[in-house]
Amino acid sequence: MKALVIGGDSYIARHFIKRYSSVFEFLVISRIPTGFSHEVIIENLWNIPDDMFLVDVVINFAAIVHSPTLTNAAIYGEVNRDLAVNNARKSKKNGVNLFLQMSSISVYGDSNTDISCLTEASPSTIYGITKLQADNEILKMSDDRFSVAVIRPPMVYGPGAPGNMLKLIRIVDKSVPLPFLNVNNERDFIYIGTLVQYLYVTIQMKLNGVFLVSESNPVSTESIVKIIGKHLSRKVFLFKVPLLLNFIKLFMPVKYNKLYCSLKISSNFPYNDLISFTSIDESLRETINHYVSNNRLRS
C-alpha cells in the first residue's frame, strides 16, 4: 500500500513511519530532513506536486500546535485549516482512497472533563479552533470513493516527546517540591506506541468519521509524579497549600485544568481489540530512559 505522509518531521509521524516502514511504501514530505528513505524536503507544503498524491492513503500530520511565541491567528488558520483542506482536495482529485487527518482533543476546549463522541466541540484556543475548522471542511469531502478519518487523541507522550510530560519529568528530576499531594484527578493520556497502532488500524480498516482514542486508563497527577520519581530514582516531595491552588486556578486557569482537573475520554474506536496497550508504568519507564540517555545533560 502506498502512503503519502505530509509533515514527516513531526513527532507522531516519525514514530509511525519507523514502526510501519515494512508495511507501507512511504513517500514522506518534510520541511526538515529526518533521514527517512523516499523523503522529499518541501519547505512550503502548499507546493506539493499533484503527482505525489497518486497513492492509496494520505496522512496529514502538518500543523502548528500551541506556541507562546506565535500569536498570529492568520498563520494558524493558513497551516492548520487552509493547508489541510487544500491537500485533502488534492487527494480526492487524484483518486486517493483515504485521507487521515491528525486532529486533537483540543477541539473540545479546556473546560470539558468527560469527553465522548457526543460531546459538542467548543475550542478555546486558536489551535483548537483551526483544527476543528479543518476537520469539518475535510469531512464534507467524504463519499463512497473517498474516506476521511479524523483522529482526536489526548496529550501524546513517549520517548523524545515534547510538551508537558517532558516538563514534569525535568522538574521531578531536580527534586523540586510539587503541590500535588492528594490530587486525585483522573486524566487520560496516550502513549506514542499506542497512538501509531490506532493510525495503522484506521488505514487497514479504511475507517470513515471522527474517532476519539486514548489509553482508557485515566491516572492522577500525583500518581504520574510518583511513577516518574521511581524511574528517575528521585525522592518526590509533595505538599498541599489551598491558597496556592486558588492562585493558580484564578491566574493560570489553563495550567490548573491540566494539572488538577480530570479529563476522561470515552473512545469510540471500533477496533480497540486490535490495539496492544502498554501500562502507564512501562510507558513512562521507556520515556524516562530516553530522557536520561538523551536529554538530561541538556536540560
Domain ranges of the chain: 1-152, 158-188+217-299
Question: Do residues 183 and 260 make contact, with C-beta atoms less than 8 angstroms apart?
Answer: yes
Q: Which fold has domain 1-152?
A: Rossmann fold (3.40.50)
Task: Report in angstroms the alpha-carbon separations of 147 from 56, 86, 105, 200.
Answer: 11, 16, 21, 15
Domain 158-188+217-299 has CATH 1.10.3430: no
Report the C-alpha gap between 71 and 30 in whole angstroms.
24
Q: pLDDT 10s digit of each residue in the chain, 299 long?
A: 999 999 999 999 999 999 999 999 999 999 999 988 899 999 999 999 999 999 999 999 999 886 666 778 899 999 999 999 999 999 999 999 999 999 999 999 988 889 999 999 999 899 999 999 999 999 999 999 999 999 999 999 999 998 899 999 999 999 999 999 999 999 999 999 999 999 999 999 999 999 999 998 999 999 999 999 999 999 999 999 988 889 998 999 888 998 999 999 999 999 999 999 999 999 999 999 999 998 655 54
Alpha carbon 230 to its chain's center: 26
Question: Do residues 3 and 27 make contact, with C-beta atoms less than 8 angstroms apart?
Answer: yes
Question: Do residues 11 and 153 make contact, with C-beta atoms less than 8 angstroms apart?
Answer: no
